[in-house]
Structures are given as C-alpha cells and as structure tokens.
Structure 1
Amino acid sequence: MTDTPPRLGRLTFHSPLSEARAAGIVQRLAANRPRTVLDIGCGWAELLLRVLAAVPDAKGTGVDINGTDLERARRNAEARGLADRTEFVEESALGTRRGPADVVLCVGSGQALSTAEPGTAEVLRELRRLVTDGGRVLLGEGFWQRPPTAAELSGMWPGARADDHHDLATVLDLAVEAGFRPEWTETAGAGEWEEFESAYQADTEVWLAAHPDHPLAAETRERLDRHRGQWMHYRGVLGLAYLTLVPVVR
C-alpha cells in the first residue's frame, strides 16, 4: 500500500487569511512600487508571488527551512510566469544577510528571526534592519485576544504559557519602539480562523476516513486529534494581527 496522507492541499495561505484581506494587503504593498521583496519563512510563498504579480518590475526572495514547501513555491512561480523574478533558498533566517528589501513579509514566522520567548521585540528590530527606508513590512503576529486561562493553556501547544504572546496594544507599542509607524492594523476574523484550521486538516481527515487500517493511520489519527484539540483550546483566545509597518527614516 503506497497511498500516504496528503499535506495542506486545501490551503491557499499558511495562515488565517481571506482572499479579500489578501487582496487589500497586496494592493497596499504594491502601491509603493517595490523593486525587491523578501519573504521570511515563506513556505510556498503565495503572498510573495501575488505581490510580484502586482508589481511587474519587482524581484523576490523567499527563505524557509522546509524544502517541500519551497518546491511548491517554485512550481507555483513557474506556473505563473514568475520563475525568472524569484529565488527560493532553503536556509535559516537567523541573522540573515538577504536584506534590506523594499518589502519584507513575515507572516506567522517570527520564530525564524528570533530564538527569544516571546521574541516579538527582537523580531521587530530584525525586520527594521531588513527593510529599506521608505519600504514596508507586513508582520503577521500572534497575540492574546484575552488572557488565557490555565485550563486553556494546558490544552494548547506543549509548554504553552501566558507570556508566549502579548496583547495587541503591546505588539503595536513594540513596533513603534523598534522604529516603525503602523500604517494599517487588522486582525484575522473568526471565519478566517475556521477556514484555515479546517483546510489545514481537511485532506488528511478525508484520507484517514478512507484508510482506517493503513500502516500510517494510527499516527495520523493521533496527530489530527491532537491538533484539533489544541485548536479548540486557543479558538477565540489566540489572535493573529496583520500589521503593515512603515519604517521611520533614520
């Protein structure tokens, strides 16, 4: 039996991001006519590719440590006629020398820039280093919508703590302290979270229902059930902010 569980096939973006919100973000980032775009923890780089499609003269670099996702990014770039304007590199972004760029994307990938816990302040300082004066940063950053209870924390990711995230006001204050002004502040809605979390597992759930006796079924079932349980504990508690940040000229 060679059939194996599919992975993330129904996700357009690897974050709770609707098509409408993505279109607004791309329009805002493209308005400055960037020449260079850097995507930190790019995954399959859907947002990067959309920015490049909106700015025909721009070139983009995606950095990630997941080779499978990078191959998907390369296939998508080729299919959209963007291969000659993109570079995807499999490497750590810690201390990266790939900037500065006119647009820097870092959506749910702050851990690629900092080993601190929480690392928001360090991530923002790194993003300021990586963006040109007059450029833009799009930061997708987790925040607590309200303080989590002990019971909620116990069911989230292993070792989850109340200080894993800040509230949104603190995230914005840290952005200002790091040398930015917030051009646009928006947060993922409940519908975006539900679409993301459902799509994150949907193909694998369907596969498991059709292959209950597969050699990989037990570990797949355990993984799916664990993630669903975690989601039910951070649902409505963990938020994701999409911050379009303007660097203060030095």
Structure 2
Amino acid sequence: MTTDTAAQDSLPPRLTRLTFHGPLSEARAARLVRRLAATNPANVLDIGCGWGELMLRLLDAVPQARGVGVDLNAEDLERGRRAAEARGLAGRVEFAEESAAGTGRGPADVVLCLGAGQALSDDLVTALRELRRLVADGGRVLLGEGYWQRTPTDTELAGMWPGASAADHHDLAGLVDLAVQAGFRPEWTETTSLEEWEEFESGYQADKEVWLATNPRHPLASATRETLDTHRTAWLTYRGILGYAYLTLVPTTH
C-alpha cells in the first residue's frame, strides 16, 4: 500500500450508504422513471447531477436516449462515470464538470433538477424560468424542491442551517404556483414521506458517524464531529417541518 493510498484509506468515507443524493425511495424512483420513460425522450439533462443515479436509470429504461449530467463535484461525477461503465451506459452519457448557470446544454426532452435549483440561480423564480428555457416543448422537467409543511418558528429556524429564514422556502401550493407562473403545468405532484427523509438524512451521516466512533483520536476527528453534530441538530430540527416535493412539469407551448 502506498503512502497516498494509506492516507486516503484513513479519511472518513463519503456517502457510500446513499443510492440517491436526496430523499427518494426505490419505489418512488421506479415510478418516476416509468413516468418519464413513457415520454420516449431522446435526450436527458441532469442539472446538479451528483452521480446521476436517476438519470442512469432513465437511460437504462429508454435505450435510444442519451444523457448529460452537469455538476461541479469531481468526486461525485467520477462515481457516476464508474456506475455508467458498470451498467454498459458509458457510451450514452457524459458527466461534465462545469457550472449549470447559463448553460447552453438544452433544450432537452427531459430535464432533471433534483434539489439543485441553486445550480441555476439562488432565486427560485429565476431557476424555474431557466428550467423552462432548458426543456424542449413536449418534454418534461422533474423538479425536486424543498417546501415548508408549516411555517417554522424563530426558535426552530435558529436550529436549522446558518441564516435560515421562513423566506427560504414556499409552502407546497406556493411552490406549484411558481412553477405554473414560470410556464409549466403540473402533471404530477408528490411529496416525500418521513421515512424517505430519515433514510436519506441517516444515510448522509452514517459513514462518518461509524468512522468517528472508531477513530476518535484521528487528526480529522474534531472537525468531523463538529460537522456531524451541527448537521444532525439541523435535520432533527427541520424534521416534520421541511418537506420535499417531486414535481413532474409539462412546459406550456410558447
């Protein structure tokens, strides 16, 4: 074992417990893929793709389709490339390390934007307009976006992410209304279950929690502990308050 390999092996593992980088069950993923595959897309664009698991499943379901995933995280993109190679999809998909802001990658028949609206714009209205620009007429956008299940109190907001504000999200009705105003009709509106949230958030932490328990004196232990404790406090605070919606959106004809 080389010194570099030994150093890498000593680091806390990253997100190996997660299939999807978001609260998404296998059953819901299968339904989403079936619904999108039924439109027979020729091309798929995945904004903020991470390792692009849902895109790869859609490409597997639609043999004529090609896909492009755009993200800035090189490690996630490489994970996606390895998965594509293992599934025989490498010739039909590109994982591009680049910003999605102002991208010229569209229009695509299916655009996936799963928890990645900020990759297009920090403003949700602008991000939705960008998604309308990026999807072909007759295509579909699958948007994954957070929403408030109820308005959080000031005390609850203080326990969430830094600078959390009630203005950070809309309620579900407001979110769908914004999509309509941006040039879409909602074909399907669905929200994650508490079980999906817990599976995601626990999986997000699990690798590092186990590593920390067995490496408490590692030079990275203190920083890892602080990160884990801060995130755990946040998600256990927004548990049952912050929801997550999957909107299958049909663009209105210009």
- Place the TM-score, normalised by the shorter chain, in its bin: over 0.9
2:3 alignment counterpart: none
2:116 alignment counterpart: 109
Cα distance in 1 for residues equivalent to 2:179 and 2:51:
26
1:72 alignment counterpart: 79
1:12, distance to aligned residue in structure 2 (A): 0.3
Cα distance in 2 for residues equivalent to 1:14 and 1:211:
26
1:122, distance to aligned residue in structure 2 (A): 1.1
2:220 is aligned, of 216, 221, 232, to 216
Cα distance in 1 for residues equivalent to 2:170 and 2:103:
25
1:233, distance to aligned residue in structure 2 (A): 1.2
For 1:33-112, what aligned pairs fall within 5 Å after superposition? 33-112=40-119
Cα distance in 1 for residues equivalent to 2:124 and 2:150:
18
2:166 is aligned, of 137, 143, 162, to 162
Residue 86 of structure 1 aligns with an amino acid whose one-letter code is V
Q: Deviations over 1:127-181 (max 9, x none)?
A: 0000000000000011101000001100111000110001110111111111111
1:127 alignment counterpart: 131
1:249, distance to aligned residue in structure 2 (A): 1.4
Is the contact between residue 120 and residue 171 of structure 1 (CA under 8 Å) also seen in structure 2? no
Q: Unaligned stretches of 5+ in structure 1?
A: none
1:243, distance to aligned residue in structure 2 (A): 0.2
Residue 67 of structure 1 aligns with an amino acid whose one-letter code is A
SS at match of 1:171: helix
Residue 202 of structure 1 aligns with an amino acid whose one-letter code is A
1:113, distance to aligned residue in structure 2 (A): 0.5
2:39 alignment counterpart: 32
Cα distance in 2 for residues equivalent to 1:145 and 1:120:
18
Cα distance in 2 for residues equivalent to 1:171 and 1:211:
43
2:24 alignment counterpart: 17
Q: Deviations over 1:53-89 (max 9, x none)?
A: 0000000000001011000000000000000000111
Q: Deviations over 1:108-130 (max 9, x none)?
A: 00000113xxx221111110000
Residue 43 of structure 2 aligns with an amino acid whose one-letter code is T
1:203, distance to aligned residue in structure 2 (A): 1.1
2:198 is aligned, of 191, 194, 201, to 194
Cα distance in 1 for residues equivalent to 2:68 and 2:239:
33
Cα distance in 2 for residues equivalent to 1:213 and 1:177:
53
SS at match of 1:137: strand
For 1:238-249, what aligned pairs fall within 5 Å after superposition? 238-249=242-253
SS at match of 1:43: coil
Identity of counterpart residues, as a percentage? 71
Is the contact between residue 39 and residue 105 of structure 1 (CA under 8 Å) also seen in structure 2? yes
Residue 144 of structure 1 aligns with an amino acid whose one-letter code is W
- TM-score norm. by structure 2 comes to 0.96
1:202, distance to aligned residue in structure 2 (A): 0.6
Q: Deviations over 1:188-242 (max 9, x none)?
A: 1100000000000111111111111111111111111110001111111111100
CA RMSD of aligned residues (A): 0.7
